[in-house]
Structure 1
Amino acid sequence: MVLTGVVVNVAAVLGGAFLGSLVKLSPRIKDTIMQGLGLAVCLIGISMGLATANIIIPVAGLVVGGGLGAWIGLEKRLEGMGQRLGNLVKAKGRFTEGFLTATLVYCVGAMAVVGSLNSGLTGDHQVLFTKAVLDGTTAVFFTASLGIGVAFSAIPLFIYQGAIALCAGLVAPLLSDVVLAELTSTGGLLILGIGLNMLGVAQIKVGNLLPAILAAAAIAWFGV
């Protein structure tokens, strides 16, 4: 089945979030875990960011995509979605923060794109199975620190990866190694921004920067 890998990935996030919801931690321990996760997310972002072969492309992508995202108000729309979901389940605490953080971490990155493409084109779900293990593990700690909002990141995760898998035949020809490298690098910079936000050293509106990934991929594809 085309969506097997996507479904397993989503199930892993939900399972990890369930386990995380059972863990009761003191505020001091939660803060320490968040700092550790923030550092780990920063490291992942830096390693991904170094994938670029031309630093101008991700920079241009951030400028163009960030401007577009700010104009659309993408961050506020995502926050609004998180708040509506939180109100629906009468959640308290850091629901929206957990939803946004987990959604961005799980959807921004090459594994989400490549894994979904492999599932759609060849039925090979190995990349998404590996991603499921990683996402499920982090979901435990994210939920323990940020609350049940992390579980609801499974909704945009399913839509995003499912759409790529179902449209793989159309998307794959556009993703050369060069395009994928710049997509990965730009996504890494966004993940670095998430990590800095988690550490409390910045207040970057990463949601507004999401179009930068597509902008950088388009610039790379046209060979600019």
Structure 2
Amino acid sequence: MPLGTIINILAVILGSLIGLCLKSHISPKIHQRVFQGIGLTTLLIGMQMALKVENLLLLIFSILLGAITGEAIDLEKHLDNLANRLKKKLGSQSSTFTQGLITAFLIFCIGSLTILGALDEGIRGDHTLLLTKSTLDGFTSIALSATYGLGVMFSVIPMLIYQGGITLLAGQFQSLFTPVLINQLTAVGGILILGLGLNLLEIKQIKITNMLPALVIVFLFKPLL
């Protein structure tokens, strides 16, 4: 049982509930500053992750091929449709539901802490990294849900599938996720997080969702790493 991931999910749900309670008490001016603060912090997280790159050329190819693939299948449209169905079933009227869900998932699940924590739990039964991540995600979800609303809470669904899946299949993934590959994967994720930060700050609107296949393309270059 992925106990660390379950605790992580509970932390995000609790943080989201607190954020939703605070949302109605925050003035538009403070709401805007919180939004900008999240955007700036997201840029910092993205830069830290991107600097872990092992091979810059392969990172560029991963991003380009990932973007082409995502655009070709219009991944953003499909994910938006899924999120909108969920929103309809919940009876939510939030205009930022889908954006909140995807933004939260990217921030919570793209990074070395997610992969290493899930592997540690699955192989050695050590929950330390995921418990640390749970604390960080819990506080982050407060700010995110106060900005985006209910969608942030439901980012726990893809988190359970992705993070919990790595934990349950840790034995098979141990040889796949080498330190070099994890760094390269984190760097590609960092580029996506940087793009997300630009979106949050409304500097430039980038279809980050359509670039998500880049995280899969990285594995194709594993022999070259």
Matches within 5 A, 1:72-111: 72-93=73-94, 94-111=96-113
Other structure's SS at 2:171 match = helix
Q: Using the alignment, how far apart are the partners of 1:176 and 1:162 within structure 2?
A: 19
1:119 to 118, 121, 145: 121
Matches within 5 A, 1:1-224: 2-23=1-22, 24-93=25-94, 94-219=96-221, 221-223=222-224
8 Å CA contact retained: 1:46, 1:189: yes
Q: Using the alignment, how far apart are the partners of 2:186 and 2:54 within structure 1?
A: 11
8 Å CA contact retained: 1:180, 1:217: no
Q: Tell me by how many angstroms 1:99 deviates.
A: 1.1
Identity %: 39
**Equivalent pairs, count:** 222
| TM-score normalised by L of structure 1 | 0.95
Q: Tell me by how many angstroms 1:67 deviates.
A: 1.3
Query: What CA RMSD, in Å, does the superposition of the two structures yield over aligned residues?
Result: 1.2
Q: Using the alignment, how far apart are the partners of 1:28 and 1:103 within structure 2?
A: 26
Moved over 6 A (4+): none
Ranges in structure 2 where 5+ consecutive residues have no aligned partner: none
Give the AA of the match of 2:20.
Answer: S
Other structure's SS at 2:79 match = helix
Other structure's SS at 2:126 match = coil
Ranges in structure 1 where 5+ consecutive residues have no aligned partner: none
Q: Tell me by how many angstroms 1:218 deviates.
A: 2.8
Other structure's SS at 2:224 match = coil
Other structure's SS at 2:203 match = coil
Q: Tell me by how many angstroms 1:72 deviates.
A: 2.0
Other structure's SS at 1:222 match = helix
Q: Using the alignment, how far apart are the partners of 2:220 and 2:10 within structure 1?
A: 32
